Amino acid sequence: MDTVASLISEIDRLLETKEWDSQKVHSLLKQVRSRLLTLEPTAEPSSTVEEIIIAPSQKISKLTDLIDFPRQGWSLAIENSTSKVQLYLLEEATKKAYPLHGRVKSDSLENVLNSLREFSSPKLTQEKLEEVLENIQRVLLCCSTWRHQTVCLQIEEILKVPEIFWLNPPITLLLSHLEKLESIPTLVIWTGEAITEFAIVNLPSQKKLISSCFWRHGAIKYGQESLLQDLFCHLIYPQWESQLSGSLPKLLLSPARVGQADSQTRNILKTQLETHPLGSALLRFTLLLQHILSNQEYYQSQLQGQPWEIKRSDYENQIVSPYLEYLQVSLEDILKITLADIKQVVWGGTLLESLDFSSLPWTKETFPQAKFFTGLDLTSGIATVLDYPALFI
């Protein structure tokens, strides 16, 4: 007869493989439950299965993490991207999320973490907040793939928590939509300020069992910031340059390749704009123009009495299309997939939300069979993260 230890060992072995049968795992879990409760082993599960619950006092090994993770204590969830930080307190016993404060800008995550007690939530008194912060058991971190190790070290040094779990933005976004999705291979695309991240996820039939063995992910260093650079350098500034002098000094621009990462050139360009007297104002205007072009066919104005204009068709063809072509090649190359076969796409983030992504000709040509899901952000995913305990093994 299989012992509890051997059953747990078999479950852990299955979870470490790239692909595993959720029905088989469920069957093993039911057998473990029966042993723990001194009952006879249950039969193989039917196609409709009940949720398994094991009491907190019966926690064991990785099985605990899989079934019984959200049972007691509090977790701190951190969403971090470039210079923005958003904090949440997660009450595991009730699976509730409390935004600790609004999104704040900070050049230092250390300053934010050290100032936790200065923040407040309308649903938590200051006394309760103090108590909660003394009993943080783990941190759930959502941030860029290329930043998470640095951020984890900062959190570990400051908060001294025993467990830090990391989810990249595409998976956090996927959780926002998970209950509406079919259990089929799903492409998730997320664009942040400086990066576009993506993942191909083989959604299990029992979505509560979703874990890292179900996905592959990748990223390219092109995001909202890069697109605004391209829009400014290639469509706006060439029309302005002859009019700039005196109070509007010229920029000595060396534009990056449109739609490409070109990180070294973009870093130089970013420094040029940050040090220019009007650099921040120019970028704010470019962001405003991006929003205008998402709602109308063209924009006309004057500079120093001279007319200039930007057409949405030029923006899409000369700026957006090269990025989408770069994204397409990267998706197929990094994820090893054929995009024409994808039937389900979840997308979000600053850059993609500025476009009518699902109606672009590129999208229809690239994903001829796909159904698109959008309209939710990382906040929704973080609020439901405790519903999926297998993410934390």
Q: What is the DSSP string of 64-108?
A: HHHHSSTTSSEEEEEEEETTEEEEEEEETTTTEEEE-S--EE-S-
Report in angstroms the alpha-carbon separations of 299 from 20, 177, 359: 54, 35, 21
Report in angstroms the alpha-carbon separations of 91 from 72, 97, 99, 146, 388: 8, 6, 11, 29, 14
Count the Cβ atoms, other than its own, within 10 Å of residue 299: 16
Residue indicated by tokens 């934010």: 112
Q: How remote is the C-alpha of 133 from its chain's centroid? A: 25
Among 47-56, 293-302, 374-383, which is the least confidently predicted range?
47-56
Q: Is the pTM of this model over 0.75?
A: yes
Q: How far apart are CA 273 and CA 282, in angstroms?
A: 8
Going by the DSSP 8-state scheme, the letter that residue 390 receives in this structure is G
* Helix (H) or strand (E) run with residue 120 in it: none
Higher pLDDT, 372 or 135: 372
Backbone angles phi, psi at 230, to 5 degrees: -65, -40
Among 86-100, 334-348, 360-374, which is the least confidently predicted range?
86-100
CA nearest to 174, candidates 342, 343, 378: 378
Q: Is the per-residue pLDDT at 323 higher than 90? A: yes
Count the Cβ atoms, other than its own, within 10 Å of residue 228: 25
Q: How far apart are CA 73 and CA 132, in angstroms?
A: 8
Q: How far apart are CA 222 and CA 230, in angstroms?
A: 11
Return the percentage of the chain with pLDDT > 90, whole number: 28
Q: How remote is the C-alpha of 360 from its chain's centroid? A: 23
Which residues make beta-bridge pairs with 293?
none
Q: How far apart are CA 321 and CA 319, in angstroms?
A: 6
Q: How remote is the C-alpha of 175 from its chain's centroid? A: 10
Q: How remote is the C-alpha of 26 from its chain's centroid? A: 29
**In this structure, are residues 79 and 382 in contact, taking their beta carbons and an 8 Å threshold?**
yes
Q: Is 300 helix (H, G, I), strand (E, B) or coil?
A: strand
Type of residue at 383 = A
Among 15-24, 92-101, 373-382, which is the least confidently predicted range?
15-24
Sign of the CA dihedral running 290, 367, 220, 259? negative
Arithmetic mean of pLDDT, 279-304? 86
Count the Cβ atoms, other than its own, within 10 Å of residue 13: 10
Count the Cβ atoms, other than its own, within 10 Å of residue 261: 19
**In this structure, are residues 146 and 219 in contact, taking their beta carbons and an 8 Å threshold?**
yes
CA nearest to 89, candidates 125, 124, 118, 56: 124
Q: Is 260 helix (H, G, I), strand (E, B) or coil?
A: coil
Q: Is the per-residue pLDDT at 3 higher than 60? A: yes
> In angstroms, how far apart are the furthest CA atoms of the chain?
88
Among 58-62, 267-271, 364-368, which is the least confidently predicted range?
58-62
Q: Is the per-residue pLDDT at 110 higher than 70? A: yes
Domains and CATH numbers, the chain: 4-67 (no CATH), 74-167 (3.30.420.40), 178-375 (3.30.420.40)
Residue 104's pLDDT is what?
64
Residue 59's pLDDT is what?
34
Arithmetic mean of pLDDT, 64-90? 66
Q: With both helix axes pointing from N to C terminus, report the angle between 4-15 and 22-36 in degrees, rounded to the nearest 10.
A: 160
Residue 188's pLDDT is what?
96
Residue indicated by tokens 């000369």: 318
